[in-house]
C-alpha cells in the first residue's frame, strides 16, 4: 500500500515539474517580440547611404534592357531584375534619359527615345509606395527576416527617402520640355511584358541644363 502511495506522489511531482516548465504564448505575441529588436529606420538608412549608390551606378540602360528582353525574356529578367517572392512580378533598376511632357499633380509623362520611336513612361512624383525600390535594389534577402512586417517597414523607409530627398527640389524646378537623367525602379510582369507606359519610381534624378 505504501509503495502505491509513493508511486502516486512521484507521478504527481513529475507532472507538477513538467507543468511549471512548459508554458504557452500566443503566436502573435511571439511574432511581435521577434520584430521588436529590428530597427527598420537604421537598417534602411544604411542601405540608402552605403549600399544603394553602387547599385544605381550599375543600373542597366532601359533601351539595353528592352533589347535583352526582346532577345531572351527569361534570361534577361533573371539577370536584370529581382523579386523577393514567387510570381510574375519582377523589379529592375533602370537608367534613362527622357524629356518631360505633361506635368500632372502626381506624375510626369515622359518621352524616351528608343530606336526610331518614342516610349511613353510615367514618373511618379507624389504616390511613392510599394516594394519597387526595395526589390529592384537586390539588397534585401527574404531569408534574413522572420516576418513580413520588417520587410514592409524597409520598403516604407526607402519610399520615405525618395519622397524626402529625391523629389522635393526636382518638383520645384521641373518644366515641360526639360531633359531629365534618372535611375528609377520599375515593375515588370514577366507574363505580359510591355515597356510602353511603365511607371517609374525615381531614386536618382537630375535635370540636364
- pLDDT by residue (tens digit) across 101-159? 999 999 999 999 988 889 999 999 999 999 999 999 999 999 999 899 999 999 999 99
Q: What is the largest CA-CA distance in the chain?
A: 102
Q: Which residues in 148-186 are b (16+ Cβ under 10 Å) and which e?
A: eebbebbbbbbbebbeeebbeebeeebeeebebebbbbb
The backbone region for 138, taken as left when phi is positive above 0, alpha when psi lies in -120 to 50, beta otherwise, is left
Range with the lowest mean pLDDT among 2-11, 52-61, 75-84, 86-95? 2-11
State the Cα–Cα distance between residues 106 and 102, nearest whole angstrom.
11
- pLDDT by residue (tens digit) across 155-207? 999 999 999 999 999 999 999 999 999 999 999 998 889 999 999 999 999 99
Residue 191 CB contacts under 8 Å (≥ 6 apart), including other chains: 88
Q: Domain segments of the chain: what residues? A: 39-208
Q: What is the CA 10 to chain-centroid distance, rounded?
A: 58
- pLDDT by residue (tens digit) across 89-102? 999 999 999 999 99
Grid coordinates of 24? 504557452
Q: What is the CA 161 to chain-centroid distance, rounded?
A: 13
Report the CATH superfamily, name and number, of domain 39-208: Envelope glycoprotein gp160, DUF2291, alpha/beta domain (2.40.50.420)
What pLDDT is attached to residue 182? 98
pTM (predicted TM-score) = 0.80
Amino acid at each position: 500500500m505504501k509503495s502505491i502511495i509513493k508511486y502516486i506522489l512521484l507521478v504527481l511531482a513529475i507532472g507538477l515539474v513538467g507543468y511549471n516548465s512548459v508554458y504557452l504564448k500566443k503566436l502573435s505575441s511571439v511574432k511581435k517580440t521577434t520584430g521588436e529588436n529590428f530597427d527598420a529606420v537604421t537598417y534602411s538608412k544604411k542601405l540608402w547611404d552605403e549600399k544603394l549608390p553602387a547599385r544605381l551606378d550599375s543600373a542597366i540602360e532601359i533601351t539595353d534592357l528592352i533589347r535583352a528582353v526582346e532577345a531572351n525574356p527569361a534570361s534577361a529578367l533573371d539577370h536584370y531584375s529581382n523579386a523577393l517572392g514567387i510570381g510574375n512580378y519582377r523589379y529592375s533598376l533602370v537608367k534613362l534619359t527622357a524629356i518631360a511632357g505633361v506635368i500632372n499633380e502626381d506624375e510626369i509623362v515622359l518621352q524616351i527615345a528608343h530606336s526610331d520611336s518614342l516610349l511613353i513612361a510615367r514618373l511618379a512624383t507624389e504616390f511613392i509606395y510599394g516594394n519597387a525600390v526595395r526589390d529592384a535594389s537586390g539588397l534585401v534577402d527574404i531569408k534574413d527576416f522572420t516576418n513580413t512586417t520588417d520587410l514592409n517597414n524597409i520598403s516604407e523607409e526607402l519610399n520615405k527617402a525618395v519622397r524626402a530627398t529625391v523629389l522635393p527640389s526636382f518638383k520645384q524646378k521641373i518644366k515641360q520640355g526639360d531633359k531629365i537623367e534618372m535611375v528609377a525602379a520599375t515593375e515588370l510582369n514577366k507574363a505580359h511584358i510591355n515597356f510602353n507606359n511603365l511607371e517609374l519610381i525615381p531614386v536618382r534624378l537630375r535635370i540636364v541644363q
